[in-house]
Chain A
Amino acid sequence: GESVGLHLPTLSVQEGDNSIINCAYSNSASDYFIWYKQESGKGPQFIIDIRSNMDKRQGQRVTVLLNKTVKHLSLQIAATQPGDSAVYFCAVAGGGADGLTFGKGTHLIIQP
């Protein structure tokens, strides 16, 4: 089965700085990777995703990098804002599986 880890429980950055949240996965058959943001009392909110045929994808202030060689995934958030404070989860799927396997989550704290 799949396991998703490399968990940094908390990451604290200054407002305006860039942040990087990392994730590792174990199953080389995984072909879909996604980052969710979860605010207190809310469900996971989609941020950005990437498929295994790509190694980089950019959104608005966010970039996801995929390194399939070392099975590593990262989320970069540029110019962090107070509203970026949340728990960030990576999740993976593959091999025809319907369900996502989630990592433990990193709590991003934006310091003023």
Chain B
Amino acid sequence: EPEVTQTPSHQVTQMGQEVILRCVPISNHLYFYWYRQILGQKVEFLVSFYNNEISEKSEIFDDQFSVERPDGSNFTLKIRSTKLEDSAMYFCASNSGVWPQHFGDGTRLSIL
């Protein structure tokens, strides 16, 4: 069964550094999403992306965040200047335009 794949599985970064999280959505999917889950808390929506532009974003997705589809297969989330509170699991999801969204196994981001 096709899967959403995310790399790396664990990223450790110094506070203030830039980090890029990578995702390869399911190949025929057109809609892409990022969510985050702070340890012990609920999964929170960050942003959705379609047709090479952001279609919706949450309050969490401020100017420090950006997303990009640099080629035909990858979908990335960049955090420009990381803060301690950015430490979380970051999940990528995709779908074909109909529900449900399919999730990857996440990247654990640890900010030191």
Which residues of A are interface residues toward B (Cβ below 8 A)? 4, 32, 34, 36, 41-46, 49, 89, 91, 93, 97-105
Contacts and interface: CB of A to CB of B under 8 A. Distances in A.
15 contacts: A43-B105, A44-B43, A44-B91, A45-B103, A46-B101, A46-B102, A97-B56, A98-B45, A99-B33, A99-B47, A99-B48, A100-B35, A102-B44, A104-B41, A105-B42
Contacts, number: 56
Interface residues of B, number: 25
Interface of B: 4, 6, 31, 33, 35, 41-48, 55-56, 58, 91, 99-106
A89 B105 CA distance: 15
Contact of B103 (A36, A93, A97, A99): A36
Contacts of B42: 4, 89, 102-105
A52 to B, nearest CB: 12
